[in-house]
Amino acid sequence: MIPEAADTPPQSAATSRARPVYLDNHATTRVDPQVIAAMLPFFDADYGNAASINHRYGWVAREAVERARSDVARLLNCPAEAIVFTSGGTEANNLALKGVMKAAGGGHLIVSAVEHRSILDPAKRLSRQACQMTVVPVDQFGHIDPQAIAAALRPETVLVSVILANNEVGTINGLREIAEACRARDVLVHCDAVQAAGRIPVDFSELAVDLMSLSAHKLYGPKGVGAMVIRRDGRPIRLEPLFDGGGHERRMRSGTLAVASIVGFGTACRVARESLGTEPARIAALRDRLWAGLSQRLDGLVLNGHPTERLPGNLNISFDRVDGELLMKALTEVAVSSGSACTSADPEPSHVLRAMGIPEALSKASLRFGLGRFTTAEEIEFAMDYVATTVKRLRK
């Protein structure tokens, strides 16, 4: 491990590492070996088109897709027919907002101030067209108050979109209470569960939401595939597709299905369901060890997000008296981020931390650590020493 002396360059003790310790599992996760093994046959042996109904290649592909659909559904405790495959969470979020609001011919849309950009940007686009938008604020922990959502409802409100677990600070929101308030007013609720599914138990039926977005690469599956979950009981949910052509996925998402990726998605969901009994507690213990170790070595640390109601692998910290840009450049041996990977090119401070009332200087000096399935205790010990040494050096 790296010595704690402030004048020791961190790189000198890290040169023996083949590559940096990966602590950016909110940006993406390593594909699980079980997932890779399940996908491989669908590249060179069972490579048929799932829409080809006249021969064995198509039948095999179709059967594999439906098995994967069932695996995704079992993770969420919902019917398999509720799953519509997409290219990822961003497409699913766009389908939810644009699909519902355009099918309704306009109306009022409610989102929170700490949603992912794939919610906020479509919402802004809709507000420039035929829709009205309300952005509900959050508290200092990034938590969305169900009463604030209820107070924002209007007779013309069509849809409320609330993130289940925040992608930057990990705060988990009470979707059930929000959904019940909306259901009493006949308002649809969409939930971005991209960061939550597979990391904590997510029960679609229990949450009582109408629509939910998922992405495979956040739960040790491949990139480029995700899903929209659409409630099938109760009154029909009208959605206008984002694009036309072929009528795939019950006419909700036209386009040739990426069979290998969908198989990988299903396998990732199956592995996640089997791991939920032990994996979250193990990861949370490593996260708490990282926070305790950094707190012992450094002063001027601020924990961002809810202290307990947060994702097991999330640790978002602001480092006082450190230039954030220099800190990120200096941490060459630990892969972390300063916020959402989807907005890392944006020089502006995190909109999530800003909404929580975090001062700009602290916001710019914040790091998001994302621990995951393959994070080891040895890596955490290295990371806490390495980050502490780097911060001390920069503060000098």
Active site residues: 342
Rounded CA-CA distance 169/316 in Å is 6
| Euclidean distance between CA atoms 344 and 341, whole angstroms | 5
At 227, list the tokens. Answer: 């899903």
SS3 per residue for 190-243: EEECCCCECCECCCHHHHCCCEEEEEHHHCCCCCCCEEEEECCCCCCCCCCCCC
**How far from 135 is each of 10, 210, 263, CA to CA, in Å?**
43, 20, 37
Structure tokens at 293: 């170790």
Residues in CB range of 302: below 8 A, 6 or more apart = 317, 318, 320, 358, 362
- CA distances for 259 relative to 47, 58, 68, 282, angstroms: 8, 10, 9, 33
How far apart CA 174 and CA 170 sit, in angstroms, is 13
Tokens 């009493």 sit on residue = 184
